[in-house]
Chain A
Amino acid sequence: GAVVSQHPSRVICKSGTSVKIECRSLDFQATTMFWYRQFPKQSLMLMATSNEGSKATYEQGVEKDKFLINHASLTLSTLTVTSAHPEDSSFYICSARSAGTGDYNEQFFGPGTRLTVL
């Protein structure tokens, strides 16, 4: 199956700094990428949907100025957590949907990035 990678897998930062997380589709082109956040023992929460070359669409309650998403190419999307605070500590997961998808809405998920803000 298609492979999606994330980098870094873990990051620890100080409060007030910004952190960038990369999501790459390794063997396919992804017209659409999704960013999720997951707190301990909870389900995944969709944060935003990004389409290559256009602005991301954010879910209600997600601050677009705090979580900057860039989808500049068909294989790369980045999520930047600006001015991170301890409450932003979470597991961030991206997924990608391939171009030319037929009837199915299959998404391929990355391995996740564990962010800890001190």
Chain B
Amino acid sequence: LAKTTQPISMDSYEGQEVNITCSHNNIATNDYITWYQQFPSQGPRFIIQGYKTKVTNEVASLFIPADRKSSTLSLPRVSLSDTAVYYCLVGLGGSQGNLIFGKGTKLSVKP
């Protein structure tokens, strides 16, 4: 499974756009990229998943360059409630594979 590297922590202010980049240099051809959010003492919550180019949903956007060796999670106009740990994972799609968590990025949103 591809290893991921993310910044340990990031600080932001309310209303700003936050971009968290993840490196996954040895991503395999059939790997997908998934981002999860975790609040203290809670299970991770799915944010977004993609394979290539750009994916957008109601909470975030995911940008994946052509070589897929990195990805960027974009959170528009963050609020205090977005303070959490964000995990980038890469793994196989379909019925194979499992998810291995890296260290994650602790995002702190300040007023």
Interface of chain B residues 26 through 52 with chain A (CB within 8 A): 32, 34, 36, 41-46, 49
B residues near A104, Cβ cutoff 8 Å = 32, 49, 93-94
Q: Which of A13-21, A67-75, A80-88, A108-116 contacts B (4 or more CB under 8 A)?
A: A108-116
Question: Which residue in chain B gives the minimum CB-CB distance to A93?
Answer: B43
A12 CB to closest chain B CB (Å) equals 15
Q: Which residues of chain A are near B104, meaning CB under 8 Å?
A: 43
Chain B residues in 8 Å Cβ range of A6: 43
- A117: chain B residues within 8 A (beta carbon): none
On whether the beta carbons of A105 and B34 are closer than 8 Å, the reply is yes
| Docked complex Cα distance between A33 and B91 (Å) | 16
Q: Distance (Å) between the CB of A116 and the closest chain B CB?
A: 12
Q: Is B99 in the interface zone, CB < 8 Å from A?
A: yes
A-B contacts, CB under 8 A, total: 66
Known contacts A44-B44, A93-B43, A112-B43; A105 and B93 CB within 8 A of each other: yes
Given the complex, which residues of B lie within 8 Å of A111, measured CB to CB? 42-43
For residue A1, CB closer than 8 A to chain B, the reply is yes
Q: Which residue of B lies closest to A9 (CB)?
A: B41
Bound CA span A93–B42, Å: 9
A27 at the interface (CB under 8 A from B): no
Interface membership of A91, Cβ < 8 A = yes
Contact B99 A107 (CB under 8 A): yes
B107 on interface, CB distance cutoff 8 Å: no
Beyond the given A107-B99, A112-B41, could you list 13 further A-B residue pairs with CB under 8 A, ordered by the A residue number? Answer: A4-B43, A32-B95, A34-B99, A43-B104, A44-B44, A45-B101, A91-B41, A104-B94, A105-B99, A108-B46, A109-B43, A109-B45, A114-B41
Between A and B, 26 residue pairs with Cβ closer than 8 Å are A6-B43, A34-B98, A34-B99, A36-B101, A43-B104, A44-B87, A91-B41, A93-B44, A95-B44, A97-B95, A101-B95, A103-B32, A104-B32, A104-B93, A105-B34, A105-B93, A105-B94, A105-B99, A106-B46, A108-B46, A109-B46, A110-B43, A111-B42, A111-B43, A112-B42, A114-B41
Residues of B within 8 A of A (CB): 32, 34, 36, 41-46, 49, 87, 91-104
